[in-house]
A and B are shown apart, each in its own frame.
Chain A
Amino acid sequence: MSDLSSDRLLADVPRRARGFRLRPLLIVFVPLAGILFQVYMPRFFHYLGYIEVPLLTVVYFSLMQRQPVVGVLVGAVVGLAQDSLSQQPLGIFGIVKTLVGYFAASVSMRFDVDNPVIQFVLSFFFFVFHEFFKWVLIRALLGQHLDFLIQQTLLFGLVNAVVAVPLFLILDKIKE
């Protein structure tokens, strides 16, 4: 993922074989740290609550593993943990992040996810997808009539995408 000199956006062959194994401890603690970040940091910096670090970790692990099953499981676990710390019923974040993990892992087999531009675009896309699908589930399954704020979602998507690129770099360093 640190191959910044690569100018290819599309991989010529499927990259399933290029996936690598993350250390299990990292798989546990990084999502946990992301959840902790979302729980703890807004106490001191309110605007940090808009950064969806758990989502970014799911995207990261899904992209890096390049295995949809792993993406599904990571997304489901992180989403359920996020649900557990919220006031809404369990499953909303779980389903959404499950889908995100699946699609991120699927996309990683087609794109060169080591490219920061791809990371930026994918992070932006998955954030918008996450917010939109969450809104759909809340309206459809819970019957809550929330407004989908497009401009705000796009703006926060940009912010999260901007945060995602350095975050992925840091995680690459940790992985190594």
Chain B
Amino acid sequence: MEALLNRYRNLTVLLVVVMAQLVLLAYQVKTNQDVRLIRVWAVTAVTPLARVLEFARQNTVGIAEDYFVLVKVRERNRELTDENGRLKLENQFLKSQLQTAERARLLSAFQERTPSKTLPARIIGNVTGSNARVVFIDRGSTDGVMRGVAVVTPEGIVGKVLASYPTAAQVQLITDGTFAAGVISQKNRVHGTVKGTGQSKCIVDYVQNEEKVEPGEMFFTSGDDRVFPKGMAVGTATVVKQGKSFKEIYLIPAAFQQGLEEVLVVLEGVHQAIPDRNAVAAAGVKILPPPPAEPGQTRTPSAGTAPAAGVAISGDLRSGLSTPADRLKERYKRVGELQNHTFGEGLPGSKPPDFTINPDDPKFKAQPGAAAPPTSAGQPAAAATSQATPGITTSAVKPQPTPGAAGPSPAKPTTSPAAVPPAARPANLPAQSGAVRSATGTSAGPVAKPPLAGAGTPTRDTAGVKPSTPGTPPGGTAGVKPPVSGTGSVAAAKPATSQPTPATVKPSSTSTARPGLSTTTSPAKPPAEPAAKPSATPGAAKPKPPAATPEPDRAAPTGIRNRAAAPAPESAPPKARKPAPGDSEGLPFP
């Protein structure tokens, strides 16, 4: 045995060692456990050497590497510095381009907004002289720039043209010592004369000490100088002091706040109203839409009226169904449609529709007959009225006979805003002011008068026509703003001169419907449709309602507050109107 082991000693050792390792391997695989002790030994034996090796490398090869790296870093640093400078220049150039584009955009927006005919120009240089505040612009007589015309920016007036040459013009800035222009304060309408001082500020002269001017008050051009159109911003009063005979008012020009590079030359000025302080304050303010409708309540999508300049009114804020009263009105209207009831037609004492039914019930929704309720003669005309007056935001359209459409001219179709004679528009009030007015309070109608007690008989129509005379006899004028006592039940809109014929709408009232102020239009109806419908004559008591009568859109009922499908102010610029005493946007009864 011993000889055998000696003879095969090597093989025996090999087998033993291999078998031992096989057992070790099998143990690990079987128990899925590691033999940690051996690994600890190996790691402990190897890692100190690795650490020493790494330390040696860092202090030998690492230093050499760092040296070469630093040599490259120095060169790289120089390259990066050069590139950084180049990028800074490029960035500065791009920022300048961006600012130029922004100024051009603002200038273009202002040019589209203002009624005056303007010509964009760029300031290309100053005249010689240290005290002179005169610059050259790149537009001259070949472009139509004449001596004496105004030069403005969206922020305010800049100056006026002193001399016009074929390729350039000299513009005297309002800070020039010899400049003067008529101004008016915004709040108290105090007239004065703005004069340049040769410095960065201007003074407003010839304002009596007794006049009331507050610091911070804006001054606008008064138009008295026949150079600057009325209503352009001049500047803000910073210092207001009592003087010997006149106040000392110092003004910071508004046009110079953002620098002066691009300007507009006013070729044909149009006077404007002095902007309302609230409108100015609201400029640039974004108003959020109202919260979403509660479940089961629908909110009528509708186009909005023309917002004020710079005011972003979005979403349902422009919708007429933003209040519970609006939703109630919509519900009553749908109830009436389901029962083929025309509000405003029933005589006092007649049976009212059943308001207990739920118009959202699917069985009612499936009724096809509900789509064409019988309407009175006045309703198509009223609908036509609502469609023919885009941009009007109040339903209380006061009938005002126009020369061309005065009286009961029944055959006259509804008139589009474009057909409104210019005479109906105040000459000194441009379309923009109407737009501003319509969005800033005159006709903004989300806040409506709730239905008043006693007036809430749901027999009133929602055609949204309001008589100008408060004493309209009862008997059914559609959409008449109910008096507080609320006993009347009129069926049709009546102009002031019309007879109180029930269920009759004088189409003349539509032709004088105040554009730019409201009204009810259905987005689903094309504008030409109402015009094709015959309007009712006073004699024709009730036209044939069903087939030709357009179904009032449920989503956009012909109500006072429904401004749906009101054309955008760009397509049909709202026109200014004289505010009528009774021209409030009362909530009509359904």
Contacts and interface: CB of A to CB of B under 8 A. Distances in A.
Interface of A: 32-33, 35-36, 39-40, 67-69, 72-73, 76, 79-81, 83-85, 89-92, 94-95, 98-99, 102, 105-106, 141-142
A69 B9 contact: yes
Interface in B15-72: 17-18, 21-22, 24-26, 28-29, 34-35, 38-39, 41-43, 45-46, 49-50, 53-54
A141 B46 contact: no
A105 B35 CA distance: 29
Q: What range describes how many residues of B lie at the interface?
A: 20 to 34
Given A36-B53, A89-B29, A76 B21 contact: yes
Given A36-B49, A90-B38, A95-B18, 10 more contacts: A39-B50, A69-B10, A72-B14, A73-B13, A90-B35, A91-B24, A92-B25, A94-B24, A95-B22, A141-B26
Instruction: State the 3 A-B residue pairs at the shortest beta-carbon distance, nearest first.
Output: A84-B42, A91-B25, A68-B10
A84 B18 contact: no
B45 A81 contact: yes
A53 to B, nearest CB: 13
A91 B34 CA distance: 11
Contacts of A98: 14, 17-18, 21
A68 B43 contact: no
A80 B10 contact: no
Contacts, number: 87
Given A68-B13, A76-B17, A90 B45 contact: no
B41 A84 contact: yes
Nearest to B13: A69
B43 A84 contact: yes
A91 B22 contact: yes
B18 A80 contact: no
> Taking chain A's interface residues, is the majority helix, strand, or loop, or is none over half, making it mixed?
helix
A149 B22 CA distance: 25
A95 B9 CA distance: 18
A90 B24 contact: yes
Does more than half of chain B's interface fall in helix, strand or loop, or is it mixed?
helix
Contacts of B28: 89-91
B482 to A, nearest CB: 89
Contact of A95 (B25, B41, B45): B25
Contacts of B39: 84-85, 90
Interface centre among B11, B14, B38, B45 (most CB of A within 10 A): B14
Contacts of A67: 10
A83 B28 CA distance: 13
Contacts of A40: 50, 53-54
A58 B394 CA distance: 101
Contact of B46 (A39, A83, A92, A94): A39
A83 B42 CA distance: 9
Given A69-B10, A80-B38, A89-B34, A36 B50 contact: yes
Nearest to A105: B10
Interface string B476-515: 0000000000000000000000000000000000000000
Given A69-B9, A99-B18, A84 B38 contact: yes
Interface in B396-446: none
20 contacts: A32-B45, A36-B50, A36-B53, A39-B50, A68-B10, A68-B13, A69-B13, A76-B17, A80-B38, A81-B42, A83-B42, A84-B41, A89-B25, A89-B34, A91-B24, A91-B28, A94-B21, A98-B21, A99-B14, A102-B10
Nearest to B49: A36
A67 B14 CA distance: 12
A85 B46 contact: yes
Nearest to A95: B21
A32 B49 contact: yes
